[in-house]
Structure 1
Amino acid sequence: MTDQELPPPGPTPESAALQVEWQKLTSDNLTSVRESAGKWRDGLAAQITLVTAGLVVSGPDKIGDLPTSWQWGIAGGLVLGMLLVLTGLLLTVAVAAGTPKALTFEDFKELGGDRVAANALQATVGANRLKLARRLAVPGIVLVLLSIGAWLVSPTEPASSLQVTTADTIYCGELSSGDGGVLTLKLNGESQPTSITYKDVVNAAIVESCPAPRTPR
């Protein structure tokens, strides 16, 4: 019998042990990927909840105090950032929960009839999805944080004040009511609002700032 007719050598104890370890590692990879996706899912969900709660508490009236250009920039950053984070969250949910799919016999044959190969394929797909989720979620988180930071340092449009002149006093403050023939002003430094009847008003003008809340004439 020539060398070409010799059967291939059988597996050695070392190669058999290596195959067992590879199968074990492959099986653990799927569990590891899903556990990692679960942690990312929980973190992203908590981040979305925190940001949403903060926006609800702050209210749209707060952003309404900003100049128009800042409103559009901050709102656009928040929306785009939250969309990126939400997309990443959905991908991590899909990886953590798995994607149930009926494996046909033909599909199983294409994988060599090996359960380990099937798990390895799922682990690879899950790892790729998790990588994509991180690439979307991390910039989304940064964008949300930058938008919130811009919100905190953004200038607010100065509120107009009303200056009301009577026969003996000039009042200047924020108009809170004008019903029933009475002007009600909130004067800076005074806890109680000041009421002025229309018949006592000599002049009224909108001003950007008040040099003094109450000035005798």
Structure 2
Amino acid sequence: MDAFTTLTGLVAPLDRLNVDTDQIIPKQFLKTIKRTGLREGLFYDWRRLKDGSQDPAFFLNQPRYQNATILLARDNFGCGSSREHAPWALLDQGFRCVLAPSFADIFYNNCFQNGILPVVLKGSEVQALFEGVTAREGYQLTVDLAAQQVTTPDGTAYHFEIDPFRKDCLYRGLDAIGLTLQHAGRITEYEQRRRTQAPWLFQDVR
């Protein structure tokens, strides 16, 4: 997993409440266990018109938001089912950070496990950012994980809270597997010791 330290990037706004994971990545795209190629399914039903063509009004189809790495959202982002494909699709699109007043718990946790920083800001702060993005093409923010701060182009800084353990893991690029592998030496020693203490546990099953 890629570490997250400081990100300065283009902001894309999704001005909708209660965006659920079935809208982030619809069920027909859940057949794969690969984390790549999912960007085609990201917000699939919203990105296209009934005839299958791209909806020019949807933000991801607009040139000004191409290559955005920060997604600006509204309350209760990521609600619904617990599908991990949702953060996979966002990451495959290029998003490394999502800003919102609140997140669904499971989605929030899944983001950390996949290298995305979900930032909770006050509703008034998020509203100010939506107004800034709308008024100014090429609107960028700087998100500093160490300082727990989001900085606007005019220098306004918004502080956010984050669990220290999750912060440390994301800052160092460690998911659950990475954390476990930090103890690889001790795990190997334990397995070798158990082979001596209880050899019957390691016999081949016939």
For normalisation by structure 2, the TM-score amounts to 0.19
More helix by share: 1
Q: Between Structure 1 and Structure 2, whose CA radius of gyration is higher?
A: 1
